[in-house]
């Protein structure tokens, strides 16, 4: 039975993304094992073309999947709109990039890469997760991510790396 949960999650996510129809939206490949705890999930997600993917038609993804999509879009996606506004708070963008223009420039320069998302915990309108990017400036580092629910969208509000400062 534990193997059925990732397949169901992937199917729901594919349904949510397929209703959008925009070419700039990502193709998301979700695969991994999920724990049986209702508030904790471990998933590996790859944003292959860009990052975003809000979901315009079809079924809504569950909250853990929505958190997963937001983390991948912000930390590993290539879609500036998704990474800098749709799935990120203004606070995150300001602290990380200075402003949305700086965020968009940085996202445009980076490639798309996979981000392993694990330990998703949701409490009301706040969530936490651990993320491990496969490339980029935080490649291989574990990043602690705080998210907030804004309307029907989970947004990254803070991302802290465990990497030591300096060269």
Question: Which alpha helices (DSSP H) does 77-164 contain, by range?
Answer: 80-81, 90-97, 100-109
> Mind listing the pLDDT tens digit for each residue in 57-110?
445 789 999 999 999 999 999 999 999 999 999 999 999 999 999 999 999 998
Closest CA to 96 of 163, 156, 19, 36: 156
Tokens read off for 66: 């929505």
Give the 3-state secondary structure of residue 99. coil
> Mind listing the pLDDT tens digit for each residue in 10-64?
333 333 333 333 333 333 333 232 322 333 333 444 433 333 444 444 457 899 9
CA distance 143 to 141: 6
Question: Are the C-beta atoms of residues 89 and 148 closer than 8 Å to each other?
Answer: yes
**pLDDT range class, residue 119, cuts 50, 70, 90:** very high
pLDDT of residue 9: 36
Higher-confidence position of 2 and 62:
62
Buried/exposed 75-106: b ≥16 CB within 10 Å, e otherwise: bbbbbbbbbbbbbbbeebbeebbeebeebbeb
Domains of the chain: 4-161 (3.10.450)
CA distance 4 to 155: 27
Q: What mean pLDDT comes out for the span 110-134?
A: 95
pLDDT of residue 80: 95
The pTM score is 0.66
CA distance 130 to 6: 18
DSSP 59: P
How far is CA 119 from each of CA 43, 73, 123, rounded to the nearest angstrom? 9, 17, 13
């Amino acid at each position: 039975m534990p193997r059925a949960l990732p397949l169901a999650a992937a199917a729901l996510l594919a349904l949510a993304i397929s209703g959008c129809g925009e070419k700039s939206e990502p193709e998301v490949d979700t695969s991994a094992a999920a724990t049986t705890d209702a508030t904790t999930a471990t998933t590996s997600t790859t944003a292959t073309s860009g990052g975003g993917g809000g979901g315009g038609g079809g079924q809504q993804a569950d909250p853990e999947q929505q958190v997963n999509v937001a983390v991948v879009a912000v930390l590993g996606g290539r879609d500036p709109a998704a990474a800098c506004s749709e799935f990120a708070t203004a606070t995150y963008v300001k602290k990380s990039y200075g402003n949305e223009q700086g965020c968009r420039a940085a996202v445009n320069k980076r490639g798309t890469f996979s981000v392993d998302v694990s330990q998703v915990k949701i409490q009301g309108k706040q969530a936490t997760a651990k993320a491990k990017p496969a490339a980029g400036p935080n490649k291989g580092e574990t990043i602690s991510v705080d998210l907030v629910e804004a309307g029907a969208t989970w947004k990254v509000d803070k991302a802290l790396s465990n990497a030591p400062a300096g060269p």
